[in-house]
Amino acid sequence: MMPNNHNRRHRPPAVRALLASVLVLVLASAVPAQECAYVGNHILGTLRLFTLPDGSAAGTVVLPDCNQGPCQLTEIAIHPATRTTYISQFDGNRIWVVDPTGAIEPTQIAVPGGPTDIALSADGSTLFVVTFGSAELVAIDRAAGAETGRIALPSQPRGLAFTSDGTVAATTSRNQNTVSFIDMSSGEVLDSATVDARPIDVAFSISEDRAFVASEDGILTIVEVDGGNIVDTITVGEFPLSIAVDPSGTFVYVANRGDGTVTAVDLGNGQTVSIEVGRSPVAARISATGLLVVANQLSSTLSVIDTTNGNAVGDPIDAGSSPFALAIGSCSATSACVGDCNSNGMISISELVTGVNITLRQRALADCPQFDANSSGGVEISELVRAVRNLLEGCPQ
């Protein structure tokens, strides 16, 4: 019996050729999306976006009630698909929910107790907030904006980090001089360790078997997650406030507020190199392309550092008065699932063929408007590429 090639025989050569070209583009190249630095300004009460590495302004959103005086914007979390931006305001006991395009007025979620660090769950459905005054980890349903639970923490918690699967959280206690590892399924402390005075920030290693803790007395402590044993203590700069871990797992960067430097720590040998940045560096983040971005509060700038050589990339970026909260994310939103014609959360070959036919003007856009991610009125090659990635990797969650 001859195999059934009905679908193949009736697929025009132009469709097959375009499909092949799109697959080549997907498999041969993976161009990262344009990244932006998201900056929360204390004095201005704004969220500002800057393209990386050149620092071009990519948007400004004024937070209501914040532009009349200082607002202590402490941390930022970005939903990777929608770009919805969450900003903790310590003195306002609230979380700002911001559309970075400015199309939707910012809203607020009340979180009493002095919110400091925040993070999204691995699936993006839950926002976690550390409260410094009430010493709790608050869980908020992201879609509903409603609290779903609280976990008691040691007093004066400040830093927050999660393992990649979200099962374990690490938090620091500023006045108890500890870091605690919490089982998120039970809310129980698995292990804890005493570190140097007044720990502020915490981050997991790439392997997630160790945690890095920065303390205000100028020490970076390396702690085993399983057991809480101290592996090493490393002297960094004055008043370290923020930690960034290189994706390769070979370096850790510590922003030192007191001396205007970032300390690069070589995890292979424990040696350190001091990199000069601006005045009062308060936050450090690493982009997907390997750029270290540092917010300098008193210089009102962002420093961009090439992590391959420790050199500055261009001039410092004018970030507006008193930049403090910092995150790195895409400059543009990702469609829920480009090419998902029937909205079932997955892409089929037939849907991909529909997109190709729309590109070739052999079918109408109305047959699958989900391909038109940029609202251009048609389907572009870049949108077909995104659809193929959704087919191969699954729709964004």
158 and 88 together in one domain:
yes
Q: Whole-angstrom Cα distance, residue 232 to residue 256?
A: 19
pLDDT at 6 over 60: no
Predicted confidence band of residue 145 (pLDDT cuts 50, 70, 90): very high
224 and 365 together in one domain:
no
Q: Mean pLDDT throughout 98-122?
A: 93
Q: Mean pLDDT throughout 311-316?
A: 96
Q: How many domains does the chain have?
A: 2
pLDDT number for residue 1: 37
57 and 185 together in one domain:
yes
Q: Whole-angstrom Cα distance, residue 312 to residue 304?
A: 6
Predicted confidence band of residue 260 (pLDDT cuts 50, 70, 90): very high
92 and 215 together in one domain:
yes
Least-confidence region, from 69-83, 136-150, 223-237: 69-83
Q: Say if 7 falls within a structural domain.
A: no
Least-confidence region, from 2-11, 68-77, 142-151: 2-11
pLDDT number for residue 205: 96
Predicted confidence band of residue 348 (pLDDT cuts 50, 70, 90): confident
Least-confidence region, from 51-55, 89-93, 165-169, 375-379: 375-379
Q: Say if 241 falls within a structural domain.
A: yes
358 and 314 together in one domain:
no
pLDDT at 30 over 60: no
Please state, rounded to an integer, the average pLDDT across all residues of the chain. Answer: 89
54 and 121 together in one domain:
yes
Percent of the chain with pLDDT over 90: 66
343 and 242 together in one domain:
no
Return the bridge partners of 133, or none: none
Q: Which domain holds residue 253?
A: 35-330
Q: Say if 16 falls within a structural domain.
A: yes
Predicted confidence band of residue 9 (pLDDT cuts 50, 70, 90): very low
pLDDT number for residue 383: 82
Three-state secondary structure readout of 53-87: CCCCEEEEEECCCCCCCCCCEEEEEECCCCCCEEE
Q: Whole-angstrom Cα distance, residue 116 to residue 88?
A: 6
Q: Whole-angstrom Cα distance, residue 362 to residue 379?
A: 12
Q: Say if 1 falls within a structural domain.
A: no
72 and 164 together in one domain:
yes
Find how far residue 250's CA is from the centre of its chain: 20
Domain C-terminal end among 330, 354, 382: 330
Exposed e or buried b for every residue in 30-53, given b needs 16+ CB within 10 A? eeeeebbbbbbbbbbbbbbbbbbb
pLDDT at 2 over 60: no
pLDDT at 235 over 70: yes
pLDDT at 312 over 80: yes
Of 74, 109, 61, 114, residue with least CA distance to 91: 114
49 and 161 together in one domain:
yes
- Kindly report the pTM of this predicted structure: 0.79
312 and 389 together in one domain:
no
324 and 363 together in one domain:
no
Q: Say if 6 falls within a structural domain.
A: no
**In this structure, is the dihedral angle defined by the CA atoms of residues 77, 53, 55 and 259, taken in order, positive or negative?**
positive
For 53-78, what is each residue's pLDDT tens digit? 999 999 999 998 876 667 899 999 99
Domain C-terminal end among 280, 313, 330: 330
- Residue 321 makes CB contacts below 8 A (sequence gap 6+) with 41, 42, 43, 44, 300
Q: Mean pLDDT throughout 148-171?
A: 95
257 and 362 together in one domain:
no
Domain C-terminal end among 291, 313, 330: 330
Pick 18 or 214 by higher pLDDT. Answer: 214
Q: Say if 126 falls within a structural domain.
A: yes
Q: What is the CATH number of the domain that holds 50?
A: 2.130.10.10
Phi-psi region for residue 106, left (φ > 0), alpha (ψ -120 to 50) or beta?
beta
Q: Is there a contact between 208 and 225 (Cβ–Cβ < 8 Å)? A: yes
pLDDT number for residue 93: 93
Q: Say if 60 falls within a structural domain.
A: yes
Q: What is the DSSP letter of 221?
A: E
Least-confidence region, from 224-228, 229-233, 246-250, 377-381: 377-381
pLDDT at 101 over 70: yes
Q: Say if 3 falls within a structural domain.
A: no
